Amino acid sequence: MIIDVHGHYTTAPKALEAWRNRQIAGIEDPVSRPRVADLKISDDEIRETIETNQLKQMKARGSDLTIFSPRASFMAHHIGDFQVSSTWAAICNELCFRVSQLFPDHFIPAAMLPQSPGVAPETCIPELEKCVAQYGAVAINLNPDPSGGHWTAPPLTDRSWYPIYERMVAHDIPAMIHVSTSCNACFHTTGAHYINADTTAFMQLIQGDLFKDFATLRFVIPHGGGAAPYHWGRYRGLAQELKKPLLRDHLLGNVFFDTCVYHQPGIDLLTTVVPAENILFASEMIGAVRGVDPETGHNYDDTKRYIEASARLTPAQRRQIYEGNARRVYPRLDVALKKRGK
């Protein structure tokens, strides 16, 4: 079985974006603010957007199940206040839940949170609880920078995040650390802000001692861990300067990297420096990079090809990366699969 831990509903029916645009317009002009009930998306519309996109590609590439969350760049936590984010998160999470109900063998939800700049993370707990209890969410996406590229929130090791971590531990769900769109002109969203956030989060975790307080807390750092594996020597050296344990002991019991690295040499590096038990298969398809690589003739984000071609991985390690690690890092996924006899 091949589990992709990183997929977003980037192909949702256009009505979703239209509703969001009305919601944004309504921030300044409350009269025009839409009601949740104004958004009408049928099951058939959802089916069509999935069958002709993600599911089609999954079948073509040979992956079975995707952990599916709302479109990351559309979370846009910087827009409006907590109430705006809260309504928007509820809508987006429900849509992903509906995808998982329509295609139970192929999608299982992860929840976005109704984060908002300057608002305490604990305000997100009701949405988190609902998504776990009612939608069967097996993970959350946690945005370390709800400001959208201004980085006004405290580091992930700050105690203001702890209420979220307490609920994660209680439910035994991991968080993928994932920012949203950048509203800072310096940072291209998917080319700079996403990758920088991954690198930033990893370094914050090196600096802190978060896993002393939460021994079973687990984070997935997407996009292959940002710059971290490429600069693994730098990070080992910085941990040493900061008098921290070796990275393996300090972080690798709790921190995992996905395989959203869109070329063979990158995957080869990742699998060279990061132990196989810390690597989770993912593609972020359909996402930031949708084209065909002229050097290979295949989609850049067809990451399974790179895992298959890696000369370094044993068949057992490939199975870990494709399935075993995901079942271990997302125990609620494992439970859900076992219930279905998988």
Nearer to a second copy, 70 or 144 (CB): 144
Nearest distance in Å: CB 151, a second copy: 4
Q: What's the alpha-carbon Rg for the chain, to the nearest Å?
A: 19
> How far apart are the C-alpha atoms of 319 and 209, rounded to whole Å?
31
Map the footprint of a second copy across residues 112-141, applying CB under 8 A.
none
Instruction: Please check whether residue 242 is in contact with residue 206, taking contact to mean a CB–CB distance below 8 angstroms.
Output: yes
Q: Comparing C-alpha atoms, which of 287, 270, 342 is closest to residue 74?
A: 287
Nearest distance in Å: CB 297, a second copy: 13
What separation in angstroms does the CA of 69 have from each of 10, 108, 314?
A: 9, 9, 30
Q: Considering the rule CB under 8 A, would residue 268 count as an interface residue with a second copy?
A: yes
Q: Considering the rule CB under 8 A, would residue 72 count as an interface residue with a second copy?
A: no
Residue of 56, 290, 338, 342 interacting with a second copy (CB under 8 A): 290
What's phi and psi for 16, nearest 5 deg? -65, -50
Q: Comparing C-alpha atoms, which of 251, 269, 270 is closest to residue 204?
A: 251
Nearest distance in Å: CB 198, a second copy: 8
> How far apart are the C-alpha atoms of 329 and 342, rounded to whole Å?
17
> How far apart are the C-alpha atoms of 96 and 99, rounded to whole Å?
5
Q: Which range touches a second copy (CB under 8 A), out of 58-66, 121-129, 133-141, 285-293?
A: 285-293
Q: Comparing C-alpha atoms, which of 291, 288, 322 is closest to residue 306?
A: 322
Tokens, residue 239: 């941990």
Tokens, residue 318: 């490939």
94 is catalytic: no
Taking CA 84 as the corner, what is the angle to CA 78 and CA 88, rounded to the nearest 5 degrees? 95
Nearer to a second copy, 139 or 206 (CB): 206
Map the footprint of a second copy across residues 186-215, applying CB under 8 A.
186-188, 190-192, 195-196, 199-200, 203-204, 206-207
The catalytic residue among 127, 284, 295, 308 is: 284
Nearest distance in Å: CB 145, a second copy: 7
Q: 213, exposed or middle or buried, with CB in 10 Å at 0-12, 13-18, 19+?
A: middle
Map the footprint of a second copy across residues 291-330, applying CB under 8 A.
291, 293-295, 300-301
Nearer to a second copy, 269 or 336 (CB): 269
Nearest distance in Å: CB 194, a second copy: 9
Binding mask 231-250 for a second copy (x = CB under 8 A): xxxxxxxx-xx----x----
Q: Considering the rule CB under 8 A, would residue 263 count as an interface residue with a second copy?
A: yes
Tokens, residue 16: 């979703």
Q: Considering the rule CB under 8 A, would residue 226 count as an interface residue with a second copy?
A: yes
Which residue has tokens 């002109």?
185
Nearest distance in Å: CB 104, a second copy: 32
Contacts of 58 (CB under 8 A, 6+ apart): 4, 64, 66, 106, 285
Binding site for a second copy (CB under 8 A): 144-145, 149-151, 153-155, 184-188, 190-192, 195-196, 199-200, 203-204, 206-207, 223-224, 226-227, 229-238, 240-241, 246, 261-263, 265-266, 268-269, 272-273, 288-291, 293-295, 300-301
Which residues belong to the active site?
284
